[in-house]
Amino acid sequence: MSFAGSSMIDPFGRSISYLRVSVTDRCDFRCTYCMAEDMAFLPKKDLLSLEELDRLCTVFIEKGVKKLRLTGGEPLVRKNIMHLVRQLSRHLDNCALEELTLTTNGSQLARFAQELADCGVKRINVSLDTLDPDKFRTITRWGDLSKVMAGIEAAEAAGLKIKINAVALKGFNDTELPAMLRWAHGRGMDLTVIETMPMGEIDADRTDQYLPLSQLRADLERRFTLTDIPYKTGGPARYVEVAETGGRMGFITPLTHNFCESCNRVRLTCTGMLYMCLGQNDDADLRAPLRASEGNELLSNAIDEAIGRKPKGHDFVIDRRTRRPAVARHMSVTGG
């Protein structure tokens, strides 16, 4: 059955055209704001196969998804991930999908950048919170900055457009961000900063890490001329142009500035759970209807039912009294 031309509209009139897929909850890093050091990961048997992920994504594309982002965990550590990318690229070839992209920590990019480009991937997000090798090791616990840098170079050589994502962390990289901005813009890359979101138990105290981006922006404005621009990438970032560098900078501010009114996305986990909102616990099991029949009708109905429950917005708040995460699952389950 084809659903071409139809689209998913939620109860608040928002059209759902963007699917983020966390292809694995595993990662070769343990970023302190994202994971505890001794994370318990899902048993491999609970994961959807790459074929099942492809089938699910295909149904979403048939129902109106135009932009698909692979994320995780670290998407490039999922075994045979390029098989899924190659499969999904057929939707780019026939123009059903406008963009196939991914968010990565960059550790495996040197190996995969060219193949990603060959599959029609044009832009990628690389997460990088510092340019200092020692601080990089501290924040990622297990990461090696030189590998990420080699990955960024390989991606540039392959012609991929890169956006750097940095989580703004008080007392860690706030003073480094002007240098990161100059570095990124000097290489023709956008830089987006993200507020820490209270997701999942970690070893650190989030109230210590939280840096409101309104404060960061005010600090940056002492050195740079920032002008708001209407540029959009389909994600939640608000962009400014930086006169001194000629580059673009994005701000993702879930806590200080709610971005839900224009939310066009839903998130799928590697076990087939659909989250209609990153900041809410409500989910819908798509694995059961996926496996219940070979046709896609049950799956399509389950997706419609889930979109009909998409909430108006999230309730993120860094709670200073309880210091508990607002959402129990880690970001690596639903992807960033």
Cβ atoms of 23 and 270 closer than 8 Å: yes
Q: Are 225 and 244 in contact (CB under 8 A)?
A: yes
- Enumerate the β-bridge partners of residue 142: none
Site for ligand SAM in 96-115 (CB under 6 A): 103-105
Structure tokens at 22: 């966390």
CB closer to ligand SF4, 34 vs 81: 34
108 in the Ramachandran plot: left (φ > 0), alpha (ψ -120 to 50) or beta? alpha
Distances 253 to 68, 210, 216 between C-alpha atoms, Å: 22, 11, 11
Region of 168 please: left (phi>0), alpha (psi -120 to 50) or beta. beta
Chain residues 296-335 in contact with ligand SF4, contact rule CB under 6 A: 332
115 vs 304, beta carbon nearer ligand SAM: 115
23 binds ligand SF4 (CB under 6 A): no
The interface with ligand SAM within residues 19-78 (CB under 6 A) comprises 27, 33-34, 71-72, 74
Least distance to ligand SF4, CB of residue 138, Å:
13
Q: State which residue, 151 or 247, has the beta carbon closest to ligand SAM.
A: 151
30 binds, among ligand SF4, ligand SAM, none (CB under 5 to 8 A by kind): ligand SF4
- Using the rule CB under 6 A, is 35 a contact of ligand SF4? yes
**Minimum distance from residue 3 beta carbon to ligand SAM (Å):** 29
How many residues interact with ligand SF4 (rule CB under 6 A)?
12
Asked whether the beta carbons of 151 and 107 are under 8 A apart, the reply is yes
Alpha carbon distance 16, 264 (integer Å):
5
- The secondary structure element, H or E, covering residue 166 is strand 161-168
> Residue 131 CB, nearest distance to ligand SAM (Å)?
15
Residues near ligand SAM, by CB under 6 A: 27, 33-34, 71-72, 74, 103-105, 127, 165, 167, 194, 196-197, 199, 331-332, 335-336
